[in-house]
Amino acid sequence: MSLGVLLDYAYWRTDGAPLRDLGVVGVIRYLSDDPANPKNAQVPEIKALHGHRIGVVPIYEQRSTDALGGAPRGTAAGKAAVRMLRAEGWPPGTVCAVAVDTDVTTATMEKSVAFVEAFEAVLAGQAYDTGVYGEADLIDALFARGIASHLYIQTEAWSGGRLSEPTSGRSSATGSTRASSAARQRRTRTGPRAGGRCPCGSLTHPRPTPSSPRR
């Protein structure tokens, strides 16, 4: 299976120059509805990354517990994400993932699924595509229902050492992507599709699709 590196970082900043030599094909960058949030990606940063042919995956995350609010919170989060995407110039067709950065249990699964489904409905109405960042059980549940199927990013945290179906190569995914967060050393795997258009002014920028890491 062909592997590449998808780097997940929150507060660190880079123009991308050193990343390609490390096997990095793309980065995860964050959006939120708080303009003062230091995790938020900025357009100049994204343009600089693209200048070094590093793809960017936008992820909306406000609070790690948002998914517990179910569909109502998912709708609100979707509207906030659309505002951010438009304000920063992300064109229609961009794949924006929503983070469910918590341990999803049997008791919270249905609310979490409803949260992502509602988020996706809002983005679809504005011509944006949806992915999800979360643990294996949640990804399997969403995959089985065809929700957020444009991009699955699995975090190692709360996944119990196993891979979800769409990130394991057992699905229609063409490959998986491995990442290690510079800040948190958090590994992720993705499938079946990564990337999206970005505010660099190009509709054909490099997507963070799987590739062989440089050694």
Distance CA 109, CA 119 (A): 15
pLDDT for 88 equals 84
Distance CA 126, CA 113 (A): 21
Is the pLDDT at 112 greater than 60? The verdict is yes
Distance CA 87, CA 77 (A): 15
When the pLDDT of each residue in the chain is averaged and rounded to a whole number, the result is 78
Is the pLDDT at 161 greater than 90? The verdict is no
pLDDT for 204 equals 39
Which residue would you say has higher pLDDT here, 197 or 168? 168
pLDDT for 60 equals 96
Confidence of residue 121 (pLDDT cuts 50, 70, 90): very high
The pLDDT of 9-15, averaged and rounded, is 83
Is the pLDDT at 171 greater than 60? The verdict is no
pLDDT for 4 equals 57
pLDDT for 23 equals 78
pLDDT digits (tens, 9 = 90+) for 59-91: 999 988 999 999 999 999 999 999 999 988 888
Confidence of residue 207 (pLDDT cuts 50, 70, 90): very low
pLDDT digits (tens, 9 = 90+) for 17-57: 888 778 788 888 999 888 888 888 888 888 888 888 888 88
User: Which residue segments constitute the domains of the chain, with CATH numbers given?
Assistant: 5-191 (3.20.20.80)
Distance CA 34, CA 170 (A): 38
Per the CB < 8 A criterion, the answer to whether 52 and 15 are in contact is yes
Distance CA 121, CA 25 (A): 29
How many helices (H) does the chain have, and how many strands (E)?
Answer: 5, 8
